[in-house]
Homo-oligomer: A and B are copies of this chain.
Amino acid sequence: MTSTIAGFRFAAVSAGIRKDGRVDVALAVADRPAVVAGLFTRNLVRAAPVLLAEERVKNGLARAILVNAGCANACTGEAGFAAARETTEAVARALGIPVDEVLPASTGVIGQLLPVAKMNAKAKELAKSITPDGYEAFAQAICTTDRWVKVAEAKVETSSEDPVTIVGIAKGAGMIHPDVGPPQATMLVFLFTDAVIKQEELQLALAQVADKTFNAASVDGDTSTNDTVLALASGASNIRLTAPQIAPALFSVCDKLARSMIADGEGANHVAEIRAVGLATEADARKVAQTMATSLLVKTALHGKDANWGRLLAAAGRAGVAFDPRLASIKIGDVEIVKNGLAMGEEAEKLAAEVLKGPSYKIEIGLGSGPGEFSYLTSDLGHGYVDVNADYRS
């Protein structure tokens, strides 16, 4: 990414929350109150920062986002809620802005209380060091098990000379099966735009786009207590946009971030886009694609680069959706390996196995001639996932 995003400044510091001493607290600040939209985890068990940010998003305007890695501040009761509030207070004071314009987000171990003193000791340093090109430090600081930072950008072409810019910053590698709804991590996504847009338009566009991107992507089927997507619009471009006008560029940014998160799935080497077509409805197609994308047998077969169409078809068969297996077709990349419910033979499987060696590919299952279709992103599952998750806290 080459551009900064007009109206926003960023910073990151190390507050010693993570054991390894890396940067672990990030701050984004809008020059003026920015229009804000948010989506939060639909898990019934929700972290303190989720509850607090959701409440504050309702104000319609926000000035800052305060994020920490290393501690999810989830399942921490009243004390956790107080800790989230106190850390936003310290930052608000250091910035000289109202506390209810500071939105908290946390990611890390569940059940540990946010270390308020450590964070607050860094509030002034953080507030002083914000710069327009600080977004890379911000992106670094919010990572946990991520192998790389996730930043994406898209432009909205307008009749004006200057385009509107959208920049997205995300983290997420495990516990990824987001289900964020209108007022849901441990996917954290922060979107910044210089567009002028009403809150309801931004919220609408964000919800529509998230449903086809973040909510259609899975590493392990586990929805976090902390998933958060926040979008801030500074208005610095002076160009007014509606939901339909901003949605395509917003989709582009969110799609890139979702693919990057899935590619970074713990221990994953491949990104598969599983597309179900020919179902009666989009909802049916979503169920089929999601069931295939979250099947352990499918994910381990992809890890083994095994064109195991039997597992693909068996996963579709337990999705709870009606179809005639005799009409089933499966393509891996451009290779048709199943037609009319039957295997196309060893040659096709060999060609398909070649496709599966690639870093990303598409698998399409056709189950009839209905109009319903849906794409779901998934990763392969191998030893790396077990390494990361069997020993996460030790």
A contact set with B: CB distance below 8 Å = 42-46, 72, 74-77, 109-111, 174-175, 179, 220-225, 294-297, 300-301, 303-304, 306, 308-311, 313-319, 321-323, 325-326, 328, 338, 340-343, 381-383, 385-386, 389-394
Instruction: Indicate whether A43 sits within 8 Å of B314 (C-beta atoms), given known contacts A75-B342, A389-B296.
Output: yes
Are the C-beta atoms of B45 and A317 separated by less than 8 Å? yes
Q: How many copies make up the complex?
A: 2
Assembly CA distance A179 to B320 (angstroms)? 12
A222 to chain B, nearest CB (A): 5
Are the C-beta atoms of B225 and A304 separated by less than 8 Å? no
Assembly CA distance A304 to B393 (angstroms)? 9
Assembly CA distance A295 to B176 (angstroms)? 12
**Interface SS of chain A:** loop
Residues of B within 8 A of A297 (CB): 174-175, 220, 222, 389
Residues of B within 8 A of A386 (CB): 300, 303, 381-383, 385-386
Are the C-beta atoms of B393 and A382 separated by less than 8 Å? no
CB<8 Å pairs between A and B, sample of 9: A44-B321, A75-B325, A110-B308, A111-B309, A300-B385, A300-B390, A306-B390, A306-B394, A382-B386
Assembly CA distance A45 to B310 (angstroms)? 10
Assembly CA distance A316 to B308 (angstroms)? 32
Residues of B within 8 A of A381 (CB): 296, 386
Task: With CB as the reference atom, state the residue of chain B lying closest to A337.
Answer: B111
A37 to chain B, nearest CB (A): 23
Partner of A77, one of B45, B326, B392: B326
Are the C-beta atoms of B390 and A317 separated by less than 8 Å? no
Assembly CA distance A310 to B322 (angstroms)? 36
